[in-house]
Amino acid sequence: MSAAPGPAGLLHPVAGAFRGFARYVQGVMGADAYRKYLEHHAAAGHGTPPMDERAFWRDRTDRQDSNPQGRCC
């Protein structure tokens, strides 16, 4: 819903809908966390370069080690 539909989306509405659904599931699963981190990093204008993908995911799970999130019953 953020980006405007690209030409492919206009040509193939089914493919576009599928892509939208896939993007939604990715969001729910948290698969887009790195992309969001990069967006934030670029927007916030830090002087330091962002973590690369491997380092980001390492950092993410390692932080969960000391900050566990509950899962409900």
Partner 1 sequence: MGTMPEDGTRTADGERNPAADESLPPTSVDDAVRDAEERRWTPAKIATWVAIALLGGVAWFMLALVRGETVNAIWFVFASVCTYLIGYRFYSKVIERYLLKPDDRRATPAEYKADGKDFVRTDRNVLFGHHFAAIAGAGPLVGPVIAAQMGYLPGTIWIILGVVLAGAVQDYLVMFFSMRRGGRSLGQMAREELGVIGGTAALVATLLIMVIIVAILALVVVNALGESPWGVFSVGMTIPIALFMGVYLRYLRPGKVMEVSIIGFVLLMAAIIGGGAVAGTEWGAAFFHLDKVTIAWGLIVYGFIAAILPVWLLLAPRDYLSTFMKIGVIAMLAVAIIVVRPEITVPAFSEFAGRENGPVFSGALFPFLFVTIACGALSGFHALISSGTTPKLIEKERQTRFIGYGGMLMESFVAIMALVAAVSIDRGIYFAMNAPVALTGGTVETAAQWVNGLGLAGVNITPDVLAQTASNVGEESIVSRSGGAPTLAVGLAHIMQQFIGGTGMMAFWYHFAIMFEALFILTAVDAGTRVARFMLQDSIGNFAPKFKEASWRPGAWLCTAIMVGAWGAVLLMGVTDPLGGINTLFPLFGIANQLLAAIALAVCMAIAAKRGSFKYLWIVAVPLAFTAVVTITASIHKIFSSVPAVGYFANNAAFSKALADGKTSFGTAKTTAAMEAVVRNTMIQGWLSIIFVVLSIIVIVTAVLATVKAFRNTAAGVPNVNNEDRPHPSRVYAPAGLIPTPAERELMAEWNKLPADLRVERAGHH
Q: Residue 15 interacts with partner 1 (CB under 8 A)?
A: no
Q: Residue 41 interacts with partner 1 (CB under 8 A)?
A: yes
Q: Residue 63 interacts with partner 1 (CB under 8 A)?
A: yes
Q: Residue 12 interacts with partner 1 (CB under 8 A)?
A: no
Q: Residue 27 interacts with partner 1 (CB under 8 A)?
A: yes
Nearby residues of 8 by Cβ (< 8 Å), 6 or more positions away: 15, 16
Q: Which class for 42: exposed (0-12), middle (13-18), buried (19 or more C-beta within 10 A)?
A: exposed
The residues that touch partner 1, with contacts defined as CB under 8 A, are 1-2, 22, 24-31, 33-34, 36-41, 43-44, 53-54, 56-73
